[in-house]
Amino acid sequence: MTPPDSVGPNTRAVHSEGDGEYKHRAVSCPIYQTSAFSFDSAEVGASLFRGETQGFIYTRLGNPTTEALQNTIAALEHGSSALATASGMAATSTLLVGLLKSGDHVVCSHAVYGPTRVLLERELVRFGIRSTFVETSDTDAVRAALEPGTRLLFIETPANPTLTVTDLAACAELARARGALMAVDNTFASPYLQTPLDLGADVVVHSLTKFINGHSDVVAGMIVLRDRDLHKRLRSALTTLGGTVDPHQAWLVLRGTKTLGLRMAQAQASAQKVAERLRGHKAVAWVSYPGLPDHPHHERARRQMRGFGAMVCFGPHGGYPAVQRILNRVRLCTLGVSLGGVETLIQHPATMTHASLSDEARAAAGIGPDLIRLALGIEDAEDLIADLDQALAEG
């Protein structure tokens, strides 16, 4: 069944795969692990290739398992359609290559996933595509950066890893006034906590690897679109570039999606408790979490999101030597660079996920040498706090 628009996100996650009945009346979507699909006749095959008949031809072009995942994420994001990709960067790359041409200009968040910035700064510039990086949480800075040739405003909010929060509705209005599209990387919030299309965005991208899949066992991405015409353009780019998702990956993510709300609720409850504990710890110099009242964008996050998320960043007294000591002393928190799984992960962006950025770019984005990024999992908060306490202890 396809649920009505009035249902909540947990119901959407379970019941939005599509209207088709699976063979043998399977309750769970099967894995259609096939590269190609047979045709009833030569005439049907030709009709499929002409686009006159709906159906499956070749898994790079479409697959029933992948389609079920696309339907589910589109429903969660309140989009018209979606395109599943082999990774989060395949989603971002397809979006940028599919939309932009030589001479186009992009405005992008300073604090953004490291490879996204590398793609814009080092790769697309070779094809005549310019980018300007600004603090998009400052709406005036966004306004000043937009040019007549700006084709795309690309925002990540909450930002990776600084957790600054951009006013999406205000930025969407600025982009529309310039005739530009606005894309939002919604990986940190997930559609359980934030639906950017409702706030004026044209496109949402995800690393499904993270909270949506939620089990640290698959790499995948997604593009969700408001407009079906834009879907046609990006689908053509995706199938030509070949960055489509494997059916088994799609099935794993689809299974994880069904528990997104339950996992996110637990993880963000722990994030709130951990952030409050860190804020009062004598070994901690600063804490950034949108759920703390002293976060500069706390009220904006309250208005724009349905929760404050499961990411916390903090800086210890003592700078980078203290960072190293903490990372080497944690026992329950896992030292690793992903996020959104059932286990809590801790890492140092300046030397890990954002190491490829220049010193100047990291400084402009607010990614200092003392910044530790903590991605909360579903463990009991008290156990995580105890682990951090022992890692922060003197001696």
If one counts every other C-beta atom within 10 angstroms of the C-beta of residue 337, the result is 14
Which one of the listed residues 185, 202, 246, 370 is annotated catalytic?
185
Is 60 annotated as catalytic? yes
Residue 380's alpha-carbon distances to 289, 377, 386, in angstroms, are 19, 9, 10
Is 273 annotated as catalytic? no
Residue whose tokens read 């976060």: 295
Which one of the listed residues 12, 117, 210, 300 is annotated catalytic?
210
Greatest distance between any 2 Cα atoms in the chain: 76
If one counts every other C-beta atom within 10 angstroms of the C-beta of residue 10, the result is 16
If one counts every other C-beta atom within 10 angstroms of the C-beta of residue 36, the result is 11
Cα separation, 224 vs 73, in Å, equals 8
Which one of the listed residues 113, 167, 202, 370 is annotated catalytic?
113
Backbone angles phi, psi at 137, to 5 degrees: -70, -15
Q: What SS3 state is found at 287?
A: strand
Interaxial angle between packed helices 88-99 and 228-241, expressed in degrees from 0 to 180 and rounded to the nearest 10: 110
Is 12 annotated as catalytic? no
Q: How many CA atoms lie within 13 A of 129 on its CB side?
A: 20
Which one of the listed residues 58, 60, 143, 329 is annotated catalytic?
60
Is 22 annotated as catalytic? no
- Catalytic machinery residues: 60, 113, 185, 210
